[in-house]
Structure 1
Amino acid sequence: MTPEPRTLEWRRDQLQRAQLYLCTDARLGTGDFVDFVDAAYRGGVDIIQLRDKHLDAGDELEYFDLLADAAHRHGRLFAANDRADVALLSGADVLHLGQRDLSDDDARRILPDDVLLGRSTHNRIQAQFAWGSAADYFCIGPVWPTPTKPGRAATGVEAVAQVAALHPDKPWFAIGGINVHTVRDVVAAGASRIVVVRAITQAEDPEASARALRAQLPQLPSAQRA
């Protein structure tokens, strides 16, 4: 079967349907990166972001080649974090940016127009700004304290509820400390999309863990999936 061309329209359609977003390192300690990302995609992960501060750019691009192959096999999205140059060279579908990273305009000066942009936000005001910006999606959090963001104050589920009350017309994800036990709380607060790390990266069975998380997410209204 010929892979779907990764046009802007295809990427946006995949993003609209996306509900489960995974951030992972290169799994240098276990050496099972390819098996892991394949299992995650099989379990229902829609987007995998490679984020590993221990890798030099050259090594990172080698792992992105592996991630890209997996994303193409499964017909899913893959993302780079922070660095527009890595996103460009890896052919990533998505570049995710923090509050202190490149502006949308600066990222667009480097990236092709068919690469999606995401933005981290940590309160309602930042979320509103991201909603009105050129970003294709945004995240709110960390909902709970997480070792992946040491020193970053948790927003609590209240921030999720505040964003949900805005009824943004672009995809948004709750992030930070979400696992199979806490996902029900962010769903109750109004989230239908989540970003996870340890809930899958530290699982004995990544595929089963992804399926368990996905099963607790509400079905998106057709208008959000269109």
Structure 2
Amino acid sequence: MTARTSSCCTSRAATPSPNFPREDVDEQALVASDKVTQHKDLGDFAWYAVHAGDRTTERAAWEFTAPPGHAAELRDRVAFAWRAMDAFYEEDERILGHAADPYHRIDIRNTSRTLEVRLGNTVIARSEYPVVLFESGFAPRWYVPRAAVDETRLRPVEGRSFCPYKGLCDYYDIGDVHRAAWSYRNAYREVDRITDMVSFEAEKVEVHLDGERLHIQPGQNVVPHGIDRGLDVDEVRAH
């Protein structure tokens, strides 16, 4: 099951969702159901199963039945669930992870502030030249060069995550603390200033900036997006 994106998107949960004109959708692929859900801003939307070949996936597509005036563009359009599809494409290129948000921004800045990371009485990292990454909706993330990290304290863990804006992310345990640090070993070109640098989870280890301990403020925690079924490391690297 493959979908190609159109120009109209909404955000359901945390994932931007392309909405296709009804006339561009294979009607034989949609199987109506009795399931109807209410969106507080956009009204009711009806669910469909999606059928292709010998496969049928329940609750794989939806359509707003009577969108309000401010969302009239969504009328007679069908959206497909990211997790239900095998792949989404923009033109000839597969979208990896989830659709990029056109309002999502990342800025990286050098700083001469001192960053120190501790676990108990042990200093894990210390740098007078970290960089700070500002990303829409998230807390600032502070990265330090590997030369400033006691790498004997970092224990690589199995499993990676993927960010459509930054690339593949590796994680590390520190002592008994799971996934306390992370690194984009080969960050995308747009954010290559953080390539192979290390950042630390301020709620799991002590991260001090100019002597003041950092804490993630309410609303600044990372909200996971939907996954892209079939995504693997080799495909991300090729992309």
Shorter-chain TM-score: what band?
A: under 0.3
The higher radius of gyration belongs to 2
TM-score by length of 2: 0.20
Higher strand share: 2
TM-score by length of 1: 0.21
